[in-house]
Amino acid sequence: MLIDISFFCVFASLRANTITFAKTNITAMQFGMIGSGSWATALAKLLTDNGNNINWWIRNDNTIKTIQTRRHNPHYLHSAYFNVQQLSLSSNITEVVANSDVLVIATPSAYAETALKQLDKNALKGKKIISAIKGILPTKNQLLNDFLFEEFDFDIENYFTVLGPCHAEEVASEKLSYLTFSGMNENMAKQLALYFKTDYLNVVTNHDVVGVQYAAILKNIYALGAGIAHGLEYGDNFLSVYITNTADEMVRFLKQLVWNNETEEEQKKINYSSSVYLGDLLVTCYSLYSRNRTFGNMIGKGYSVKAAQLELNMVAEGYNASKCIHIKNEDVKSQIPIAETIYQILWQGLSASEGFKKIEGMLI
């Protein structure tokens, strides 16, 4: 049932304690947030800034207590403050899922399976899921939608993604950003996107739900490589050529992976120069906020993988992704020599300097 709600484009200022309303017709939904890292916190801020109350699964009870008393996440995005009356915080994932119509899954890909396997096989019936995961689930080398189908018989028609060039830190500081909501049901994707749209967050939609996920996986690998190049003291001239070639390599992989299952008409709708593909690649390769670039920079400077992981103390999705794409490409059979070389550096003992000497010869 559609109801007239005055919380589309609700913009709350905790300091000024004022709220501005713009009316729109929007279907009432209860959101649940799965995860408590920087991206989950940024998405929670978007939803609550628009006047939505959310159920929020946070594994650590001490983190819950701190948010309840100090109104911010003690580990990530300290500048993002919440009205705690809008938050129902719980360390019980079953409770959060049961009380929610739409689940936003924003854990690192490596932890998603462990979190979701706590649920009963029927727990996701009747739900909609928005994946904010920017990686591939490593156990079986799966996208989240494939895991959900296998474990919960979850229909991809009710599965959506939220991706694009949107660092959590800039969302927290309310710098203008853009997100793409993708789903096979593009009309529902448009409706879900409205819950996140604010004066500092613009939203667009597309139907390429599989392609955008693989683009997000690949761009993390290439950003890690950009960091390695920086650590090896390559300059901006080289980096611009490197990123141009990675963009071409990414599109080649996506076309070979996705287009076999798309009609010619649907293929024409996909714009690989748009923000969710090229834009996300660029910002992840260049930005100092990029944890993959930071991780790669350490590798380029001579850190071991283990030492870089300990130093970063955050998940760099590109590390596991490089191995997953290497395995996936055994089936896809696309020409992705840059991604393959980064895999060899991270997983097969190829030195960073030797690897980038190889990459030098690939670039055009």
241 and 203 assigned to the same domain: no
226 and 140 assigned to the same domain: no
Q: How far is CA 145 from CA 135, 154, 247, in A?
A: 12, 8, 25
241 and 342 assigned to the same domain: yes
Kindly report the backbone phi and psi dihedral angles of residue 244, in degrees, each rounded to the nearest multiple of 5, phi listed first.
-60, -45
At 180 the three-state DSSP class reads strand
The pLDDT of residue 55:
98
The pLDDT of residue 26:
62
Residue 211 CB partners (closer than 8 Å, separation 6+): 254, 257, 258, 270, 277
| pLDDT tens, residue order, the chain (364 aa) | 333 433 333 333 333 333 333 334 566 799 999 999 999 999 999 999 999 999 999 999 999 999 999 999 999 999 999 999 999 999 999 999 999 999 999 999 989 999 999 999 999 999 999 999 988 998 899 999 999 999 999 999 999 999 999 999 999 999 999 999 999 999 999 999 999 999 999 999 999 999 999 999 999 999 999 999 999 999 999 999 999 999 999 999 999 987 666 666 677 789 999 999 999 999 999 999 999 999 999 999 999 999 998 888 777 899 999 999 999 999 999 999 999 999 999 999 999 999 999 999 999 9
168 and 30 assigned to the same domain: yes
Amino acid at 115: A
Cα distance between residue 170 and residue 141, in whole Å: 30
What CATH number corresponds to the domain at position 29? Answer: 3.40.50.720
Cα distance between residue 334 and residue 328, in whole Å: 10
DSSP 5-35: EEEEEEEEETTTTEEEEEEEEEE---EEEE-
91 and 220 assigned to the same domain: no
190: containing domain = 2-207
19 and 166 assigned to the same domain: yes
The pLDDT of residue 325:
96
Point out the domain boundary residue: 157, 175, 207: 207
Amino acid at 286: Y
140 and 273 assigned to the same domain: no
Count of helix runs (H) and strand runs (E) in the chain: 16, 10
Instruction: Work out how many domains the chain is built from and give that number.
Output: 2
Is the whole-model pTM more than 0.75?
yes
What number of CA atoms fall less than 13 Å from residue 119's CA on the CB side? 20
The pLDDT of residue 269:
80
